Amino acid sequence: MEDLVGLPSGGNVQTNQVLYNLSRRGPEFDLSPWCAERGIPLMAYSPVEQGALARNARLEAVAARHNATAAQVALAWVMAQPGVIAIPKASRQEHVRQNSAALDIKLTPQDIADLDRAFPPPTRKRGLEMI
């Protein structure tokens, strides 16, 4: 990103699309703050980890508190991150409805603490992951 924004037209960068979700939080360590300082949002692809988080038992307790699915909680968490845009898959109308319902989930401080315990934030710099 530093190389890119250093190019003559680098100031035109509008977003940085990265793999980012509860189980892939590496961008939080340095990329997300760097982008935030420059007003460049992160575009999180695979916010439900290609469906793996939709079947994650650690998300079920939080989901139950919100009468939601684990996938909706995972998506709500990504969307609650400052400066992050989520692009979840929606191959059927039902996916669109479920994804939309995630907008109504307001995660509480307890929810966030539970999710941080289950999916700890990074403590060191890591290379970007891709799937």
Report the chain's mean pLDDT, rounded to a whole number.
Answer: 94
1 contacts 28 by C-beta, under 8 angstroms: no
In the chain, which residue ranges form alpha helices assigned H by DSSP?
2-5, 31-37, 57-65, 70-80, 93-101, 109-118
Q: Which residues make Cβ contacts (< 8 Å) with residue 31, sequence separation at least 6? A: 1, 16, 18, 42, 128
State yes or no: pLDDT of 128 exceeds 80: no
Q: Which amino acid does the sequence have at 94? A: E
Measure the CA angle with vertex 100, ends 38 and 104; round to 5°: 80
pLDDT tens figures, 75-118 = 999 999 999 999 998 999 999 999 999 999 999 999 999 999 99
pLDDT of residue 131: 76
Give dist(CA 123, CA 105) in Å, integer.
27
pLDDT band at 27 (very low <50, low <70, confident <90, very high): very high
**Cα four-point dihedral sign 98, 94, 19, 39:** negative
CATH superfamily, with its number, for domain 15-118? NADP-dependent oxidoreductase domain (3.20.20.100)
Query: Residue 127 has what pLDDT?
Result: 79
Whether the model pTM is above 0.85: yes
